[in-house]
Amino acid sequence: MDFCPKCGMLMYPEKEKGEIRLICRSCGHQERPIFSNKERFVVKREIEHSPKDKTLILEDDQQLKTMPTMKAICPKCGNTTAYYWQVQTRRADEASTTFLRCTICRHTWRIY
Q: Rounded to an integer, what distance in angstroms lies between the CA atom of residue 104 and that of residue 66? A: 15
Catalytic residue among 16, 39, 48, 93: 93
Q: Rounded to an integer, what distance in angstroms lies between the CA atom of residue 8 and that of residue 5? A: 6
Residue 39 annotated in active site: no
CB 77 within 8 A of CB 107: yes
CB 93 within 8 A of CB 109: no
Residue 46 annotated in active site: no
Residue-level length of the chain? 112
Task: Return the active site residues.
Answer: 93-94
